[in-house]
Amino acid sequence: MLLCSTFFFSQQTVTGRIVEDNGENLSKVIVINMSTDKKVYSDAEGIFSIEAKPNDELRFVKEDFNRTSRRVLTNGANLPLFITLYQIPKDVGEVKIVKKLTGDLEADSRIVAKVDKGEQVRDAVGLPQPVGKMREKPAEVKSVLLPILLGNLNVQGVYDLISGKARRQKRQYRYDDLQEHVAWVRDRIDDDYFIKAGIPGDRISEFIQFSFLAKPQVRTYVKAKNLSGVMLRLEETVPLFMERLKQNLK
């Protein structure tokens, strides 16, 4: 029984081939293990190899193709996977210039990311960026009471605590940070990305805030400015948000 348990729950190598609907091999497909965030590319023959554990979800992503997912190693079976990706129909009425894949997994994950021209200019000319935020630091109980014990009275700090100013400042800063993080996401991802996922256009910001609460890791990725990580985690919260909308309509 111990040997069987070790077999079923230990990490294994999952292999497979990815093709498009006409049977042609698909190279440079990003294969992501959603449990570990490990990413690999399919090679020129459409073949990939990635580490996974039983019931891990693998997601297959390639620009201009509908993404798909597959649970692996179910029932202990470790057979090669055969994945077919279907191309997204294009509107020939609009011509877009698409950048070629760079070979950088993080960069290539940004399929629907907007171009931040302001950031490009700053990077090009090397403008220095401010460190931290220019904010008045709210008074803390410890920072006010400790000096009193040592014979130093911080009058302003005592007033801020008693009047509630420090509490209001903290609440306002939390709100400002939240709105800043929501704006960071919206500035970098087209609204069409959310709308195609089923999110009403007028509730996109609400969805992003919901994602921050449902999956705190989303906001962690925002703070790290990791757009690909944000997008992957946002997809996990779409079903939760849609279920919430259905309940509100009842």
Q: What is the pLDDT of residue 125?
A: 45
**Span 65-91, average pLDDT:** 84
pLDDT in tens, 108-167: 455 555 555 555 555 544 445 544 565 667 667 666 666 666 666 666 766 666 777 767
Q: What is the pLDDT of residue 232?
A: 86
pLDDT in tens, 126-142: 445 544 565 667 667 66
Top-confidence residue, 122 or 28:
28
**Span 224-240, average pLDDT:** 88
The angle formed by the CA atoms of residues 179, 210 and 104, to the nearest 5 degrees, is: 80
Top-confidence residue, 128 or 181:
181
Q: What is the pLDDT of residue 145?
A: 63
Domain 11-108 has CATH 2.60.40.1120: yes
Please state whether the predicted TM-score (pTM) of the whole model is above 0.75. Answer: no
Q: What is the pLDDT of residue 139?
A: 62
- On average, the pLDDT of the chain sits at 77
Tokens for 191?
């609204």
Tokens for 32?
């992501």
Cα 40 to Cα 19: distance, rounded to the nearest angstrom = 16
Q: What is the pLDDT of residue 51?
A: 93
Start-end of H helices in the chain = 2-9, 105-108, 117-125, 141-149, 155-163, 165-188, 191-196, 204-214, 216-223, 227-249
Q: What is the pLDDT of residue 157?
A: 66
pLDDT at 210 over 90: yes
Residue with tokens 């000319």: 125
Q: In the chain, which residues fall in CATH 2.60.40.1120?
A: 11-108
Q: Which long-range contacts (CB under 8 A, 24 or more apart) does 132-141 make?
A: 135/173, 136/169, 138/165, 138/166, 138/167, 138/169, 138/170, 138/173, 139/165, 139/166, 140/166
pLDDT at 48 over 90: yes
**DSSP 3-state assignment of 118?**
helix
The size of the chain, in residues, is 250
Closest to 48 measured CA to CA, from 82, 81, 15, 84:
15
Q: What is the pLDDT of residue 1?
A: 47
